[in-house]
A = this chain, B = another copy of it.
Amino acid sequence: MEKYILLDHGSGGLASQNLIGSLFLKYLKDPVLQQLEDAAVLPAEQGQLAFSTDSYVVDPIFFPGGNIGELAVNGTINDLAMRGARPICLSLGLILEEGFAVAELEQIIKSIAAACDYAGVPVVTGDTKVVPKGKADKIFINTSGVGIIEGGIDVTARKAQSGDVILLSGTLADHGITILTSREGLQVGGNLQSDTRPLHFLARSLVKDFPGEIHTMRDPTRGGLGTTLSEIAKTTGLCMEIEEKAIPMQPEVRAACELMGLDPLYLANEGKCMVLAAPEHAEKILQTMCSTPEGRDSAIIGRVSAKHSGRVVLTTVSGGTRLVEPLSGEPLPRIC
- Chain A positions within 8 Å of B, measured between CB atoms, are 6-8, 10-17, 35-57, 78-80, 82-83, 85, 89, 91-95, 124-127, 129-132, 134-137, 140, 142, 144-147, 149, 156-158, 218-219, 221-224, 227, 231, 266, 268, 325-334
**Do A223 and B12 contact each other (CB < 8 Å), given the known contacts A80-B39, A93-B142, A142-B93?**
yes
**Do A55 and B142 contact each other (CB < 8 Å), given the known contacts A39-B80, A218-B38?**
yes
Q: Which of B48, B129, B144 contacts A41 (CB 8 A)?
A: B48
Knowing that A15-B328, A39-B83, A53-B93 are A-B contacts, what are 6 other residue pairs whose CB atoms are under 8 Å apart, sorted by A's residue number?
Answer: A12-B223, A13-B266, A15-B331, A38-B219, A39-B80, A55-B127
In the complex, what distance in Å separates the CA atom of A205 from the CA atom of B133?
43
**Do A40 and B45 contact each other (CB < 8 Å), given the known contacts A221-B12, A227-B12?**
no
The reply to whether B57 and A131 form a contact with Cβ atoms under 8 Å apart is yes
In the complex, what distance in Å separates the CA atom of A85 from the CA atom of B45?
15
The reply to whether B127 and A7 form a contact with Cβ atoms under 8 Å apart is no
CB neighbours (8 Å) of A146 from chain B are 49, 51, 146
The reply to whether A39 and B327 form a contact with Cβ atoms under 8 Å apart is no
Report the nearest B residue to A327, measured CB to CB. Answer: B13
Report the nearest B residue to A149, measured CB to CB. Answer: B41
The reply to whether A12 and B49 form a contact with Cβ atoms under 8 Å apart is no
CB neighbours (8 Å) of A6 from chain B are 331
A202 to chain B, nearest CB (A): 15
The reply to whether B57 and A129 form a contact with Cβ atoms under 8 Å apart is yes
CB neighbours (8 Å) of A135 from chain B are 57, 136-137
19 A-B contacts, Cβ less than 8 Å apart? A7-B333, A8-B328, A11-B332, A12-B221, A14-B329, A16-B222, A35-B156, A38-B79, A39-B83, A41-B50, A51-B89, A51-B125, A53-B126, A54-B93, A54-B127, A55-B142, A93-B93, A136-B137, A144-B144
In the complex, what distance in Å separates the CA atom of A123 from the CA atom of B49?
14
In the complex, what distance in Å separates the CA atom of A6 from the CA atom of B329?
10
Report the nearest B residue to A42, measured CB to CB. Answer: B49
In the complex, what distance in Å separates the CA atom of A328 from the CA atom of B7?
11
CB neighbours (8 Å) of A45 from chain B are 49
In the complex, what distance in Å separates the CA atom of A10 from the CA atom of B78?
19
The reply to whether A137 and B131 form a contact with Cβ atoms under 8 Å apart is yes
Q: Which of B40, B83, B219, B326 contacts A13 (CB 8 A)?
A: B326
